[in-house]
Structure 1
Amino acid sequence: MLSGRNLHGRGLHLSGIPRQDRTVAKVNPVIYLHVPFCGSFCTYCDFYSEICRSSQAFNDYADAVIGEINSRQKELSMNISAPNAVNTLYIGGGTPSVLPLDVLARIVRAIALSEAPFEEFTVEVNPEDIVEKGSEYVRGLLAIGVNRISMGVQSFDDGILRWMNRRHDGTRAIKAYRILRECGVRNISIDLIFGISQLTDEIWKDTIEEALALAPEHISAYQLSIEEGSALAKMVSDGRYVEASDEQCRRQYNFLCCTLKQSGYHHYEISNFAKPGFEAVHNSAYWRRVPYIGLGPGAHSLIGNVRSWNSQELPHRALNCEPLSDAPLKLSRNQDNLTTYSRSFETLSTEDIRVEKIMLSLRTDKGMEATELYSLAERYAVDSLLMEGALEKIGSRIRISESHLFVSDEIIRELI
């Protein structure tokens, strides 16, 4: 079973150009910004977020993030020259499109380390926010340098969307997509979810056909998983939801893979499909264990063999939002009397790094150099999986064969 970022005014649409034709100087590190605000909580989600639309909360958040950026300048600068460095900015959440554009622009100006644009600058959006805020908002995103939009569609079926507690319906998702296109967004990714017990094969087929009719450059499709702390986990424990069978999930995943392949999409990672030249640069860096810096509450960073993470609480000067739990907070206070999130660290062991390299590399269609895989895993395990056809050797590299991607977790488990 599958387991389931100064460019103000520099709206260059580099992600609309196939990668082999780009000549952008790589001067910025891989940066992720977590925006912890949502308009509603989805049934399945366990990511850190708060339902809040207070302008004070938004500005306190921006002040805290800018303070973090200023305090981490040395780390940001060191990451510029890291091996395999790429210059990307990814703003995720939560729901970044809940954040007012002027607040977002203030943070982006603080993040910029040079006058060169990011090769890839992605912002996650909710379809309903795009429809409500309209073309002016989308053009504002392009004006601050955004060149890739990731839109959480999840489904085009209204019944499924209501069950997910999504704010949009199928018609609004299509309208949002068209607004993005009319405004000149040349690189759009949409998210879909399968493996829901009430998601019939017919609805899933219609969902993929609707997605292909829009012709996005990128599609991410994830199998529904039960995450601890989510509303869905509570539904399962209460007996109000029964998980989809492995057979149903496998069938829907196989249909997804076959249909997108026939439509010309490159299946470059377990859950990700792209038109050639539009593979996600930022996420691909994660899978290669390229150093990255996470900003904002709940964000993670990796520099060398040190991983760090920010605590999950909303910066504030006064109580603005209801917290998600009653857990005690680890808070720090800056010179402006802003109570904000703290940061923790761990040093990865040789074993931690070994496991990560195998797990991340084998998620992709590039896999891993055979010599490296043999050095990290038992030879008999690799050879056995090659004999079974679960792994395949392509040139000097070994990867999980596409026919076995659905059981990738089990294959990776045998190797680690």
Structure 2
Amino acid sequence: MRIFLLLLFGSLCMMVGQVQGQQANPNYVFPAGTNPVQYKNYYLLTLFAQDSAVRKLILNDPELKTYAKNRTLKISDALKNCGADIACLSGVFKFSEAEVIAISKRLTALFKQDEALKNLVKQELIPSGCYISYGALKPVDLLVKAWEQEAKALNFAIAVYVEGAKPNYPKIDSIGFNVRDKSYPELVRMNGVLSSVNPDRLFFEPSMQFALIALDINERNDAADYEPMMTTVNRESLKAIKKTNFAAYKYSLILVPGEGPEEQNTELSAGGMLRCRLAVAEYRKGVAPFIMVSGGRVHPFKTKYSEAYEMKKYLMNTLQIPERVIIMEPHARHTTTNMRNAARIMFRYGMPMEKVALTVTAPSQSRYIGAELMARCVKDLGYEPYRLGARLSDFALEFYPNVSSLQLDFDEPMDP
């Protein structure tokens, strides 16, 4: 019954995504010159900070100004009095449920009073697709849901990468410090001071800065890897996509999920090499114009090697595949996000979302993608990032990308 309910919820979310997906714009451009870790995790808050009309509205609002002032005083008091109590200090940078609700009510009131927030939702939030799961809601409710999600995202990052709480995948994504070390509270306090030095800040900016610095000193800026990909690692493939007649191919692309090595100094596992070879065998049959390699810096803990980058090197240097054929997806940390991130890139790069794609991988993972993974996606992500097609072999499985995959994930700061 639980699995049935999860699948039913995922189907409903997918329907919502399709409604919103009619408005998400594949040509939407994210802000240049902004830290990708920031805008990929906290896009609404990034827009609040950068949109001059919205920033002015929030800065000048008496209620939010008072809230920001009181928050600054609480932070100052914590810096003076918390000592070595990490939770005492980090707690003032997190948002309580009562605070989230109060700010939601104030944003609702401001939305009704001023055009700035209305324009932000219409011109930025909806076309970005970042909050596509809320697409069936009224614009003001979409704004509130986005704010509530960003507050949860900040709290999650602080809980894991300051306080040492368990992330979703503890073996690979845990905090990099011993929180019981005598010197650690000093690091937290220094972060607190740096995050609160500017008094002329929006109500959320000290918390956002505190979370971003925590990710940085933990060496957890994976969300920024190879960005902006459209002008770096995927520049040649993006140019090729724009010239491709997809109707001439059975599949839009061949997706290769990575398999990270367990040895610290191994660049690419044997499993990764073999998966690349499976993809090349299909590519040389002429079934698809592109190969997408998917996988971030995942295994082992805090590895410096990106699965997608190492697979791209292997495809080019060993298997003689041209760079224009290879699309890199270097952020996924699980099979759920292999599938989700592939769909995201396909949408944002202007590939046909209605066309079937192919994934090739080890039989065990292929069976997982074709069976249990969908329920795992609904549990972890809240929606189905793909729809299954036909099984071709133990290695090869068809799938259809889902535009609902554009939705940001609040509890995966390295791959939101």
Please indicate the TM-score interval, normalised by the length of the shorter structure. Answer: under 0.3
Return the TM-score normalized by structure 2: 0.24
Q: Which has the higher strand share?
A: 1
Higher relative helix content: 2
Considering only CA atoms, is the larger Rg found in Structure 1 or Structure 2? 2
Q: What's the TM-score once normalised by structure 1's chain length?
A: 0.24
